[in-house]
Amino acid sequence: MAISRRQFLLSSAGILAASQLPRLVLAAKESDFDYVLTAEPGSAELIPGINTSILGFNGGYPAPVLRAKQGQRIRIKFINKLKEPTTIHWHGIRIDIAMDGVPFLSQPPIMPGETFIYDFVCPDAGTFWYHPHMNSTQQLGRGLVGTLIVEEAEPVTFDADIPLCLKNWHIDEKGEFTQLSIPRYAARMGTPGRYETVNGQHKPTIEIPTGGLIRLRFLNVDNTLIYKIALKDFPAKIIAVDGNALSKPVPLTAHEIGAGMRLDIAFIAPEKTDEIIEVQNGKGRLFFGLLKLKTVEAKLPKRNQIPSLPVNPIPSPDLKSAEVINFLFEWSGAMTPTDKNGKAKHEFWTINRRAWEGMNQNNLPAPLAELKLGKTYIFDMKNVTPHKHPIHMHGHTFTVIWSNKKKIKPYHTDTVLMEKNERVKIAFVADNPGRWMFHCHVIEHMKTGLMGYVSVV
């Protein structure tokens, strides 16, 4: 039976579907797998009326939104249809090392034409994402990024739950890719893109139900940029940071998320139709429109408050017995070493005076630190560079406990955005055995030195 658009919107499923952009779709399923994903060349209409050749999961952008349940297993059949090796890293998931998707460190590269089964349990609920960990500048920069949502074991109901992937594409007015990495920018903040999108659209308008309890999941899937999220003249609360619920929601004023980071906010929509809420991105002291939310009629129960989400079961670090390990992030500036053939080998960044040297099947660098399984550690990190760095660790969720730049109420995360000349202390229990990447998530910084790994045995 055909239904009207209004009837569709008033159904719970319809409200959710209408609140998302039309190109956000689930991946196809096979009987033995929850999802089937491919990495392959494709196209996307990023600029209206113009098709851009991209690399995409299932050949398109936005990538399929994958959904899992907290504490339950998810199985994903992945097929590499690229002309080069790749992997998938499940960013923010406390995962078994064999599933972490780092070539040579946790799994062999997935060669063209090969299939790999990713099979893991998601212990934490929240907003996560997935991307390759090979040739990252090109593969991520050209579109291989996607959303992974892990739903709470005890569901928290929202009238609209909207993932928003933020990405600034390196394309010109004809939709053609420009240079993804320029050395003079890689040695600074990173090479910025030119065309800003939300879920693949420039400054979209997204419908939300009148009076509804709304959850927005912002994911910074950009190679480089920091987004500073705010709502113009409208109240909202932060309910989760980087996939980890806050014990109590806090008011949103403006919140920075570096590359790889996520932010969940919630608010109650206006009760009148055709009301507009502008989501903004701060650049310096100025704020600019990023997208608009428009209310559409929906007869919902009256919402009075924003709920707290259940906090993830993160092990509590024993700060009194913790071992402190120091990390120094430094800037090498204009230094340009060369390889044995005289080709420039850019190394602009170092961790403890070591630049990441790369790895292959026959060469695995020494770890930055060797950690004892089950022990608590405090990483005392100093960013003495003139730029910001989102520092990310695989396989663990840590607690930010102190900063010399701002007052910290301890919170859980997998990535911390360090200001220039900032010193930050993080604490965690090294409870996940394996070799775990530890790096800046500005892809050019990572590729030009600011990366290493820690070993938990």
pLDDT at 25: 36
Contact yes or no for 227/218 (Cβ under 8 A): yes
Q: Which residues pair with 177 in a beta bridge?
A: 171
CA distance 399 to 437: 17
pTM above 0.85, yes or no: yes
Contact yes or no for 318/132 (Cβ under 8 A): no
Coil vs helix vs strand at 29: coil
CA distance 304 to 51: 44
- E strand or H helix at 399: strand 398-403
Q: Which of 19-23, 212-216, 253-257 has the lowest mean pLDDT?
A: 19-23
Work out the pLDDT band at 187, boundaries 50, 70, 90: confident
Which of 242, 190, 209, 231 has its CA nearest to residue 448?
190
Lookup result for tokens 């003139």: 386
CA distance 130 to 201: 20
In sequence order, what are the residues at sequence separation of 6 or more whose Cβ sits closer than 8 angstroms to the Cβ of residue 299? 10
CA distance 397 to 153: 18
* CATH C-level class of 160-296: mainly beta
The CATH number assigned to the domain with range 319-456 reads 2.60.40.420
For residues 321-349, average pLDDT: 75
CA distance 445 to 302: 48
CA of residue 425 relative to chain centroid, distance = 22
On the question of pLDDT at 5 being above 80, the answer is no
| Chain region(s) in the chain for CATH 2.60.40.420 | 5-151, 160-296, 319-456
CA of residue 280 relative to chain centroid, distance = 19
For residues 142-147, average pLDDT: 98
For residues 361-387, average pLDDT: 95
Work out the pLDDT band at 359, boundaries 50, 70, 90: confident
Q: Is 31 left (phi over 0), alpha (psi -120 to 50) or beta?
A: alpha
Which of 55, 56, 70 has its CA nearest to residue 27?
56
- The CATH superfamily label for domain 5-151 reads Cupredoxins -  blue copper proteins (2.60.40.420)
For residues 115-122, average pLDDT: 97
